[in-house]
Amino acid sequence: MTLFSSPNCAMSHCARLVIQEKGVAADIEYYDTNEPPEDLLELNPNGTSPTLIERELVLYDSRIIMEYLDERFPHPPLHQMDPVSRATARMLIKRIDQDWYRLLDEMLHSGEKKSARAKKMLKESLTAAAPVFQAHPYFMSDEYSLVDCALAPLLWRLPSLGVDLELLDKSISEYAGRIFVREAFQESLSPEENDMANSFK
């Protein structure tokens, strides 16, 4: 199993985090998304990150890769087993993508004015969600799950973008701290992502 991954893409980080949480023996191939390697382009002509290769299987959507890994390697489970809980978790991840990752993308790839607006909106949205972070040890759950794997890479990037998690709300900072100290999270970091640690207090 090989995961082709950008060293600084949050979506790729999500897939790497699941690999580490599962203890999967996978090769992580970091590459410049502006110059995808030929062996990747042969399997995924778009060269998008992340791309998971296992024998004849080629997957190149972060959320699909995460779901596949959880089903392919069922222990430890990162989804609850009952259909209602699994569907609820999928909806939470979809909301995180639509509400928070969209704004992160604008912060990273938009002009100064639009980026500042996105930063303000993301801070306000996270602050409004503070009671959710406070209610359980993990995001809307007493157990660590794929939802946390989806959310953690986003939160990790925010201090390096000038968003102090503790100033948003103490419960958000404490949640982030619980996630960031996990061995799997630390192992999931690329060298570039590891450098972001200096921004997290």
User: For 67-92, how does the pLDDT look when each residue is reduced to its tens digit (9 = 90+)?
Assistant: 999 999 998 999 877 899 889 999 99
Residue with tokens 């201090």: 159
Q: For 121-179, how does the pLDDT look when each residue is reduced to its tens digit (9 = 90+)?
A: 999 999 999 999 999 999 999 999 999 999 999 999 999 999 999 899 999 999 999 99
CA 13, 14, 15, 17 torsion-angle sign: positive
User: Which domains does the chain carry?
Assistant: 2-72 (3.40.30.10), 83-182 (1.20.1050.10)
**Of the listed 3, 4, 5, 9, which one is catalytic?**
9
Query: Is residue 113 pLDDT above 70, yes or no?
Result: yes
Query: Is residue 199 pLDDT above 70, yes or no?
Result: no
- Is-contact 171 133, C-beta < 8 A? yes
Catalytic residue status for 9: yes
